[in-house]
Amino acid sequence: MLNSKNPLGKQVDSPEQYCPAILHAIARCDYRESVGIGSILPFQGEDVWNCYELSWLNAAGMPRVAALSIRVPCTSIFLVESKSLKLYLNSFSQEVIESEVRLCDIITQDLNHLLETQVQVKLMKLQNIPPANSDLPGICLDEIDIDISHYTRVPELLCTETVAGESDRGHIDEVLHTHLFRSLCPITAQPDFASLMIAYSGLRRISHACLLKYLVSYRNHAAFHESTVEQIYLDVMEFCKPDTLSVLARFTRRGGIDINPFRSSHQTIAPGGRLSRQ
């Protein structure tokens, strides 16, 4: 929810010296309460933020650069607003920091304080950034020949099916993905593009065509990345009732930051790596 301290959608000055006050937290409960998620979460997981625009000065005044990985547990009460994080990281550009260890400690302490949780922060030299993968694992849904008519979320599109030659009682273990996913920022209405993976197991196969129709129906859906993935998780659980389920979204960069929310019935840590489009 936008308030007077949230820089999203506003023209603001970009500080070039250390400014932790620019960081802005968003309460997860603002969304979760609206969909019936209480204090006991129906999933596990984390949000992985990869930040590629970080620079500071060493003791000799020489600019240094690095990439940054931030892992925030989905159990945190707050998430950090992305524009405020960009501005915060930019505020180090003319700040003298004696070592990478010290910089990592400062960022960790500031985010722990802001989010009231324990985040994991890792500084990466540019040559150590994980190489990009060209694709997600599993079956790609993008070439299914279907007609699309819904561009706002329609969870009722989801369904299961029995495939010819498949036992009604057979156990399904499947990984599916699409690169066609798009949603909208709830404040600016700017598009957010992502590749999305769904891994599940159960007694019924999720209809690939219906799943793709459902995911495309988010095209004009306005929500933050994290709440979007949580909504997808809840919808698939409700309408398809798998035994296990994991949902991962790899959103493309905005402001030098890509966000990768992961929610799962049985896994806490998100899969590693990144895609070439990130």
pLDDT tens for residues 105-145? 999 999 999 999 999 999 999 999 988 988 999 999 999 99
pLDDT tens for residues 224-246? 999 999 999 999 999 999 999 99
Domain encompassing residue 71: 20-128
Instruction: List the catalytic residue out of 47, 51, 110, 192.
Output: 192
Tokens 């722990």 belong to: 112
Residues 119 and 138 in one domain: no
Across residues 179-193, what is the average pLDDT? 96
185 is catalytic: yes
pLDDT tens for residues 3-33? 456 665 556 677 889 999 999 999 999 899 9
Query: For residue 8, is it within any domain?
Result: no
Query: For residue 15, is it within any domain?
Result: no
Q: Phi/psi at 127 (nearest 5 deg)?
A: -75, -10
Residues 192 and 66 in one domain: no
Within a 10 A sphere around the Cβ of 56, how many other Cβ atoms?
Answer: 22
Angle made by CA atoms 97, 254, 136, in degrees to the nearest 5: 110
Residues 168 and 247 in one domain: yes
Give the Å distances, CA to CA, from 34 to 28, 202, 241. 11, 28, 21
Residues 107 and 165 in one domain: no
Instruction: List the catalytic residue out of 51, 74, 185, 210.
Output: 185
| Domain end among 128, 161, 183 | 128
Query: For residue 123, is it within any domain?
Result: yes
Closest of 246, 190, 51, 59 to residue 129, by C-alpha: 51
pTM of the model: 0.92
13 is catalytic: no
| Domain end among 100, 128, 156 | 128
Query: Structural domain tally of the chain?
Result: 2
Residues 30 and 152 in one domain: no
Closest of 74, 70, 49, 8 to residue 258, by C-alpha: 49
Residues 237 and 113 in one domain: no
Residues 146 and 244 in one domain: yes
